[in-house]
Amino acid sequence: MEQVPMSATGGTLGDLTKHQLRNLCRVVSIDESEPVRLLGRVLGSADSRPLSRPPLWQSDIADDATPVEFSVQINDTGERHLRILAETLPEHPSPAANLGAARDLVSSLSERYGLPLDRLRAIEDLFTPDEPQGHFSWWFSFIFDAAGRPKFKVYLNPAIRGPERSDEICAEAFRRLGLEEAFHTVGAHALQRAQDELTFFALDLDHGPQSRVKLYISQHDATTDDVIRAAGAVPGISPGQVGDFCRLLAPGTARFSGRPLVSSYSLVESDRDKPSNYSIYLPLRDYVPDDSVSRERVRRHLREYEIDPAMLDEVIGSLTERELSANAGLLAHISLRLSPDQTGTTVYASSEAYGGTPVQR
Ligand code: TRP
């Protein structure tokens, strides 16, 4: 039977995305109450907005302006983590108002969960100009462990003072965090081309020495050799795996000239001169005819890493009943995380609350 879309039933963005989230909580076997509450909180003024009305803001979280994206991370140990990436929206969005709402959210989360804000406080002035520029100010992710307990990450925009200042802002943030050398290492491997763009600077809002700083670089027009070189910044991993990953998910693609491959690096307190972990993100939606092909390729990748591919269909089924061949973009990105002792795959899946990725002709 055709499912009646929520937009036709007077549903809100909150109704749809919470329904999807409840399904995903079942897939990863965690209690839904905390995730659903947090989703409502982060949606802010977008929560109660009827889907029959246009998006409150052209959020860049997803291609159709939905301000949330779901992901499921699977480690080679079999652990699964559910995550929500989101932009919080105030009643009257604007770059400055969105930044204000994001800062308020940080304060209220830190009060409720006792989050340490010392590292954020040490660098936030760099990322909070009076007149923010770029696609976003601050984004959030909520990561739920096997017990359903959340961890929090905040993403800051290096281009918030204009793209020409991204490099200088990130260098200063790394310097303040005592990771100056590591920033140079990353730059030498992934910021050598004119098309390499610093896109996110992220912090775990966690206690302890394992709390991470993450830097994301969009490598426009890259070849697999470019991202293999980027992976070379991390000791003890095999960069060749990154090439295999790209070839399996986007066979025959010599140059990724659609949405870019993204490289990210994680650094913990002890990573003074080199990052300890590398991830590649492949925007699968631009390198497939549609999601039925994405599904096949991701299944192949999961089998390669000895992960049961049945999980993928459960994730898809949590979000939609549409024909997979009708469009691309439900499976937005796939990422592979490499560290010396662990490998993980993450599947980023769209809510498609506002129709999904626009069809390109
Ligand atoms: N939608 C944006 C993009 O595709 C931001 C984004 C959302 C993103 N999820 C992501 C970027 C995962 C990289 C990886 O660029």
CA 111 to chain CA centroid, Å, is: 24
Where helices occur in 115-220 by DSSP H, the ranges are 118-123, 166-176, 180-190
3-state secondary structure of 274: coil
- Is any ligand 1 atom within 6 A of the Cβ of residue 214? no
CA of 8 to the centre of ligand 1 (A): 28
Task: Output the CA 165–ligand 1 centroid distance in Å.
Answer: 21
The pLDDT score that the predictor gives to residue 6 is 60
- Angle 66-359-15 from CA coordinates, rounded to 5°: 25
* Atom nearest to 60 CA in ligand 1: 1
Cα angle 141, 242, 220; round to 5: 70
Query: 24 CA distance to ligand 1 centroid (A)?
Result: 20
Ligand 1 binding pocket mutation candidate from 64, 69, 227, 264 (most atoms within 8 A of CB): 69
Q: Which two tokens stand for residue 253?
A: 């693609």
Nearest to 156 by CA among 188, 186, 127: 127
Ligand 1: centre distance to CA 166 (Å)? 18
Residue 280 falls within a domain, yes or no? Answer: yes
| CA–CA gap between residue 143 and residue 151 (Å, rounded) | 5
SS3 266: strand
Regarding the beta carbon of 281 and ligand 1, being less than 6 Å apart is answered yes
| Whether residue 43 has its Cβ less than 6 Å from ligand 1 | no
* Nearby residues of 105 by Cβ (< 8 Å), 6 or more positions away: 41, 42, 44, 88, 140
What does the angle CA 293 – CA 297 – CA 302 come to, to the nearest 5 degrees?
A: 145
Q: Which structural domain range is residue 188 located in?
A: 6-350
What is the position in ligand 1's atom list of the atom closest to the CA of 216?
13
Decide: 13 and 51 in contact? Cβ < 8 Å.
yes
Ligand 1 atom nearest to 62, measured from its CA? 1
Angstrom distance (rounded) from CA 224 to CA 219: 10
Residue at 358 is within a domain: no
Q: Are strands 342-350 and 80-86 parallel, antiparallel or unpaired?
A: unpaired
In angstroms, the CA 140 to CA 85 distance is 6
The preferred substitution site among 57, 58, 60, 68 for testing ligand 1, maximizing ligand atoms within 8 Å of CB, is: 60
Residue of 57, 58, 59, 61 to test ligand 1 pocket, by largest number of atoms within 8 Å of CB: 61
Tokens representing 16 are 């749809």
206 CA from centroid of ligand 1 (Å): 23
pLDDT at 2: 47
* Spatial CB neighbours of 169, under 8 Å, sequence gap ≥ 6: 126, 127, 158, 160, 161, 201
Q: Whose CA is nearest to atom 6 of ligand 1?
A: 61
329 CA from centroid of ligand 1 (Å): 12
Number of structural domains the chain divides into: 1
Is residue 265 within 8 Å of 221, Cβ to Cβ? no
Q: Would you state the pLDDT for residue 269? A: 86
Could you report the per-residue pLDDT of 124-137, keeping only the tens digit for each? 999 999 999 988 99
Quote the ligand 1 centre to 200 CA distance (angstroms).
Answer: 10
For ligand 1, say whether the CB of 69 is within 6 Å of any of its atoms: yes
Residue 203 lies in a domain: yes
DSSP H helical segments within the chain, as ranges? 13-27, 33-43, 95-113, 118-123, 166-176, 180-190, 224-231, 240-249, 291-304, 310-319
* 333 Cβ below 6 A of ligand 1: yes
Please identify which residue in the block is written with the tokens 């140079």.
Answer: 184
181: left (phi over 0), alpha (psi -120 to 50) or beta: alpha
Quick check: is 265 in a domain?
Answer: yes
| Residue found under tokens 């659903």 | 36
Give the per-residue pLDDT at 7: 58
- Domain-located, residue 320: yes
Pocket of ligand 1 contains residue 262 by CB under 6 Å: yes
Q: Give every residue of the chain whose pLDDT is below 70, as ranges.
A: 1-9, 360-361
Q: Is the CB of 60 under 6 A from ligand 1?
A: yes
Does 136 contact ligand 1 (Cβ within 6 A)? Answer: no
β-strand pairing of 213-219 with 261-267: antiparallel
Residue 360 lies in a domain: no
Decide whether any atom of ligand 1 lies within 6 Å of the 61 Cβ. yes
Distance of CA 346 to the CA centre of its chain: 9
- Longest CA–CA span in the chain (Å) reads 58
